Structure 1
Amino acid sequence: MRVEALNHVQLAMPLGGEAAARRFYAELLEIPEVEKPPHLAARGGCWFERGSLKVHLGVEKDFRPARKAHPAFMVTDLTVLIQRLSDAGFEAVEDQPLPGYNRRYVADPFGNRIELMEPL
Protein backbone atom coordinates (compact mmCIF):
# COMPACT_ATOMS: atom_id res chain seq x y z
CA MET A 1 0.00 0.00 0.00
CA ARG A 2 1.28 3.47 -0.90
CA VAL A 3 -0.01 6.88 -1.82
CA GLU A 4 0.26 7.20 -5.60
CA ALA A 5 -0.67 10.77 -6.50
CA LEU A 6 -2.46 13.91 -5.46
CA ASN A 7 -5.99 13.98 -6.88
CA HIS A 8 -6.87 17.62 -6.11
CA VAL A 9 -6.26 20.46 -3.72
CA GLN A 10 -9.20 21.93 -1.78
CA LEU A 11 -9.12 25.58 -0.77
CA ALA A 12 -11.72 27.34 1.33
CA MET A 13 -13.65 30.45 0.40
CA PRO A 14 -16.43 32.49 2.00
CA LEU A 15 -20.08 32.10 1.10
CA GLY A 16 -20.94 33.91 -2.12
CA GLY A 17 -17.39 34.09 -3.45
CA GLU A 18 -17.95 32.11 -6.64
CA ALA A 19 -17.73 35.09 -9.04
CA ALA A 20 -14.43 36.23 -7.51
CA ALA A 21 -13.10 32.65 -7.66
CA ARG A 22 -14.05 32.38 -11.34
CA ARG A 23 -12.33 35.64 -12.16
CA PHE A 24 -9.11 34.64 -10.41
CA TYR A 25 -8.82 30.92 -11.19
CA ALA A 26 -10.55 30.67 -14.58
CA GLU A 27 -9.82 34.08 -16.10
CA LEU A 28 -6.46 35.09 -14.64
CA LEU A 29 -4.83 31.70 -13.99
CA GLU A 30 -6.63 30.13 -16.98
CA ILE A 31 -7.71 26.96 -15.18
CA PRO A 32 -11.11 26.09 -16.71
CA GLU A 33 -14.10 25.70 -14.44
CA VAL A 34 -15.77 22.28 -14.47
CA GLU A 35 -19.24 21.51 -13.28
CA LYS A 36 -19.50 20.12 -9.77
CA PRO A 37 -21.56 16.99 -9.28
CA PRO A 38 -25.16 18.04 -8.52
CA HIS A 39 -25.16 16.68 -4.97
CA LEU A 40 -22.04 18.77 -4.18
CA ALA A 41 -23.05 21.88 -6.14
CA ALA A 42 -25.74 22.64 -3.58
CA ARG A 43 -22.97 23.39 -1.05
CA GLY A 44 -21.63 26.27 -3.14
CA GLY A 45 -18.05 26.72 -4.25
CA CYS A 46 -16.57 25.83 -7.62
CA TRP A 47 -14.05 23.50 -9.22
CA PHE A 48 -11.29 24.35 -11.69
CA GLU A 49 -9.50 21.61 -13.59
CA ARG A 50 -7.17 21.04 -16.54
CA GLY A 51 -5.80 17.53 -16.88
CA SER A 52 -4.20 16.51 -13.61
CA LEU A 53 -4.37 20.07 -12.22
CA LYS A 54 -7.46 20.17 -10.00
CA VAL A 55 -8.28 23.06 -7.68
CA HIS A 56 -11.55 22.84 -5.76
CA LEU A 57 -12.92 25.74 -3.75
CA GLY A 58 -15.44 24.96 -1.06
CA VAL A 59 -17.48 27.28 1.09
CA GLU A 60 -16.42 27.37 4.73
CA LYS A 61 -18.89 28.82 7.21
CA ASP A 62 -16.32 30.51 9.48
CA PHE A 63 -13.87 31.19 6.67
CA ARG A 64 -10.30 32.21 7.41
CA PRO A 65 -7.72 32.31 4.59
CA ALA A 66 -4.78 29.93 4.49
CA ARG A 67 -1.85 32.32 4.79
CA LYS A 68 0.93 29.74 5.25
CA ALA A 69 -0.34 26.43 3.85
CA HIS A 70 -0.66 26.72 0.07
CA PRO A 71 -0.66 24.97 -3.28
CA ALA A 72 2.29 25.59 -5.60
CA PHE A 73 1.38 25.81 -9.28
CA MET A 74 3.93 25.18 -12.02
CA VAL A 75 3.59 27.93 -14.64
CA THR A 76 5.04 29.05 -17.94
CA ASP A 77 5.77 32.72 -18.66
CA LEU A 78 5.77 33.74 -15.00
CA THR A 79 6.62 37.33 -15.93
CA VAL A 80 3.52 37.57 -18.13
CA LEU A 81 1.34 36.01 -15.44
CA ILE A 82 2.69 38.39 -12.78
CA GLN A 83 1.84 41.36 -15.03
CA ARG A 84 -1.67 40.00 -15.71
CA LEU A 85 -2.25 39.56 -11.98
CA SER A 86 -0.86 43.01 -11.22
CA ASP A 87 -3.11 44.61 -13.85
CA ALA A 88 -6.06 42.91 -12.11
CA GLY A 89 -5.04 44.21 -8.68
CA PHE A 90 -3.23 41.12 -7.33
CA GLU A 91 0.32 41.73 -6.08
CA ALA A 92 2.83 38.92 -6.58
CA VAL A 93 5.63 38.99 -4.00
CA GLU A 94 9.06 37.39 -3.91
CA ASP A 95 10.30 35.09 -1.18
CA GLN A 96 13.54 33.25 -0.49
CA PRO A 97 15.12 31.87 -3.68
CA LEU A 98 14.54 28.21 -4.48
CA PRO A 99 17.25 26.63 -6.65
CA GLY A 100 16.01 25.82 -10.13
CA TYR A 101 12.91 28.06 -10.06
CA ASN A 102 11.64 31.57 -10.43
CA ARG A 103 8.74 31.89 -8.05
CA ARG A 104 6.31 34.34 -6.53
CA TYR A 105 3.44 34.26 -4.07
CA VAL A 106 0.05 35.82 -4.61
CA ALA A 107 -3.09 35.85 -2.49
CA ASP A 108 -6.30 34.73 -4.20
CA PRO A 109 -9.37 37.00 -3.79
CA PHE A 110 -10.01 35.47 -0.37
CA GLY A 111 -6.46 35.80 1.00
CA ASN A 112 -5.39 32.18 0.43
CA ARG A 113 -1.68 31.93 -0.34
CA ILE A 114 -0.81 30.64 -3.83
CA GLU A 115 2.75 29.88 -5.00
CA LEU A 116 3.60 30.29 -8.68
CA MET A 117 6.73 28.42 -9.82
CA GLU A 118 8.53 28.46 -13.17
CA PRO A 119 11.47 26.13 -13.78
CA LEU A 120 14.65 27.93 -14.85
Structure 2
Amino acid sequence: MIVGLDHVQVAAPVGCEDAAREFYGRRLGLEEVEKPPLLAARGGVWFRVGLHELHVGATENFVPAAKAHPALRVSSPAELEHLAALLGGQGIEVSRPDPDEVPGTARLYVLDPWGNRVELLA
Protein backbone atom coordinates (compact mmCIF):
# COMPACT_ATOMS: atom_id res chain seq x y z
CA MET A 1 0.00 0.00 0.00
CA ILE A 2 1.13 3.53 -0.70
CA VAL A 3 1.79 5.41 2.54
CA GLY A 4 3.23 8.73 1.38
CA LEU A 5 5.30 10.74 -1.03
CA ASP A 6 9.07 10.26 -0.93
CA HIS A 7 10.36 12.66 -3.58
CA VAL A 8 9.61 14.59 -6.75
CA GLN A 9 12.12 14.86 -9.57
CA VAL A 10 12.64 17.68 -12.03
CA ALA A 11 14.83 17.27 -15.08
CA ALA A 12 17.80 19.44 -15.97
CA PRO A 13 20.54 19.35 -18.58
CA VAL A 14 23.80 17.48 -18.00
CA GLY A 15 26.18 19.67 -16.00
CA CYS A 16 23.34 21.22 -13.98
CA GLU A 17 24.81 20.69 -10.52
CA ASP A 18 26.27 24.16 -9.81
CA ALA A 19 23.16 25.96 -11.06
CA ALA A 20 20.92 23.57 -9.08
CA ARG A 21 22.85 24.27 -5.88
CA GLU A 22 22.63 28.01 -6.55
CA PHE A 23 18.89 28.08 -7.31
CA TYR A 24 17.39 25.35 -5.13
CA GLY A 25 20.03 25.50 -2.39
CA ARG A 26 21.07 29.12 -2.00
CA ARG A 27 18.09 31.05 -3.39
CA LEU A 28 15.24 28.79 -2.20
CA GLY A 29 17.08 27.63 0.92
CA LEU A 30 16.74 23.88 0.45
CA GLU A 31 19.24 21.59 2.19
CA GLU A 32 21.30 19.38 -0.12
CA VAL A 33 21.11 15.62 0.49
CA GLU A 34 24.07 13.42 -0.40
CA LYS A 35 23.25 11.04 -3.24
CA PRO A 36 24.26 7.38 -3.06
CA PRO A 37 27.59 6.90 -4.91
CA LEU A 38 26.20 4.96 -7.89
CA LEU A 39 23.52 7.60 -8.47
CA ALA A 40 25.91 10.50 -7.84
CA ALA A 41 27.95 9.32 -10.81
CA ARG A 42 24.94 10.05 -13.05
CA GLY A 43 24.91 13.74 -12.10
CA GLY A 44 22.15 15.84 -10.62
CA VAL A 45 21.53 16.99 -7.06
CA TRP A 46 19.06 16.05 -4.32
CA PHE A 47 17.50 18.44 -1.78
CA ARG A 48 15.45 17.99 1.37
CA VAL A 49 12.01 19.64 1.47
CA GLY A 50 10.51 19.06 4.91
CA LEU A 51 9.96 15.30 5.19
CA HIS A 52 10.35 14.83 1.43
CA GLU A 53 12.98 15.40 -1.23
CA LEU A 54 13.30 17.25 -4.51
CA HIS A 55 15.65 15.54 -6.96
CA VAL A 56 17.22 17.42 -9.86
CA GLY A 57 18.06 14.75 -12.42
CA ALA A 58 20.55 15.35 -15.23
CA THR A 59 19.39 14.17 -18.63
CA GLU A 60 20.94 14.25 -22.10
CA ASN A 61 17.77 15.18 -24.00
CA PHE A 62 16.49 17.82 -21.60
CA VAL A 63 13.22 19.66 -22.27
CA PRO A 64 11.86 22.03 -19.58
CA ALA A 65 8.54 21.24 -17.94
CA ALA A 66 6.23 24.19 -18.58
CA LYS A 67 3.15 22.68 -16.92
CA ALA A 68 4.25 19.81 -14.63
CA HIS A 69 5.94 21.25 -11.55
CA PRO A 70 6.79 20.82 -7.90
CA ALA A 71 4.80 23.01 -5.50
CA LEU A 72 6.86 24.06 -2.49
CA ARG A 73 4.99 25.25 0.61
CA VAL A 74 6.23 28.39 2.35
CA SER A 75 5.49 28.90 6.06
CA SER A 76 3.15 31.89 5.68
CA PRO A 77 1.80 34.42 3.16
CA ALA A 78 4.17 37.03 4.64
CA GLU A 79 7.15 34.71 4.09
CA LEU A 80 5.94 34.02 0.56
CA GLU A 81 5.93 37.77 -0.15
CA HIS A 82 9.38 38.09 1.40
CA LEU A 83 10.68 35.27 -0.81
CA ALA A 84 9.03 36.83 -3.88
CA ALA A 85 10.81 40.13 -3.15
CA LEU A 86 14.15 38.37 -2.62
CA LEU A 87 13.88 36.38 -5.84
CA GLY A 88 12.65 39.37 -7.83
CA GLY A 89 15.58 41.39 -6.49
CA GLN A 90 17.92 38.69 -7.78
CA GLY A 91 16.52 39.00 -11.29
CA ILE A 92 14.24 35.97 -11.11
CA GLU A 93 10.88 36.64 -12.74
CA VAL A 94 7.99 36.02 -10.36
CA SER A 95 4.55 35.46 -11.85
CA ARG A 96 1.28 35.25 -9.96
CA PRO A 97 -1.63 33.06 -11.04
CA ASP A 98 -5.22 34.23 -10.63
CA PRO A 99 -5.90 34.19 -6.84
CA ASP A 100 -9.44 32.91 -7.45
CA GLU A 101 -8.09 29.64 -8.91
CA VAL A 102 -7.31 28.27 -5.44
CA PRO A 103 -9.22 30.43 -2.92
CA GLY A 104 -7.43 31.04 0.36
CA THR A 105 -4.02 30.11 -1.01
CA ALA A 106 -1.30 32.63 -1.86
CA ARG A 107 0.72 31.32 -4.83
CA LEU A 108 3.41 32.36 -7.25
CA TYR A 109 5.52 30.78 -9.96
CA VAL A 110 9.20 31.07 -10.79
CA LEU A 111 11.32 29.28 -13.38
CA ASP A 112 14.40 27.34 -12.36
CA PRO A 113 17.64 27.96 -14.32
CA TRP A 114 16.50 25.61 -17.10
CA GLY A 115 12.93 26.84 -17.53
CA ASN A 116 11.08 24.33 -15.33
CA ARG A 117 8.11 25.88 -13.54
CA VAL A 118 8.24 25.87 -9.72
CA GLU A 119 5.20 26.86 -7.67
CA LEU A 120 5.62 28.47 -4.26
CA LEU A 121 2.54 28.64 -2.06
CA ALA A 122 1.36 29.51 1.44
Find the counterpart in structure 1 of residue 59 from structure 2: 60
Find the counterpart in structure 1 of residue 9 from structure 2: 10
Aligned residues: 117
TM-score (norm 1): 0.92
Distance (whole Å) between structure 2 residues aligned to residue 88 and residue 116 of structure 1: 16
Distance (whole Å) between structure 1 residues aligned to residue 26 and residue 34 of structure 2: 16
Match of 2:90 among 85, 88, 91: 88
Contact 2:5 2:52 in 1 (8 A): no
Find the counterpart in structure 1 of residue 36 from structure 2: 37
Distance (whole Å) between structure 2 residues aligned to residue 52 and residue 65 of structure 1: 26
In the TM superposition, residue 104 of structure 1 has moved relative to its aligned partner by 0.3
Contact 2:73 2:121 in 1 (8 A): yes
1:53-98 CA distance string (max 9 Å, x none): 3100111111000000011111030011011111222111011221
Find the counterpart in structure 2 of residue 113 from structure 1: 117
Show structure 1 runs of 5+ residues with no match: none
Find the counterpart in structure 2 of residue 28 from structure 1: 27
Q: Any runs of at least 4 consecutive aligned residues in structure 1 with deviations exceeding 4 A, and if so which?
A: none
Distance (whole Å) between structure 2 residues aligned to residue 96 and residue 81 of structure 1: 19
User: Percent identity over the alignment?
Assistant: 50
Residue 97 of structure 2 aligns with an amino acid whose one-letter code is D
- RMSD of equivalent CA atoms: 1.1
Show structure 2 runs of 5+ residues with no match: none
In the TM superposition, residue 50 of structure 1 has moved relative to its aligned partner by 4.1
Find the counterpart in structure 2 of residue 100 from structure 1: 104
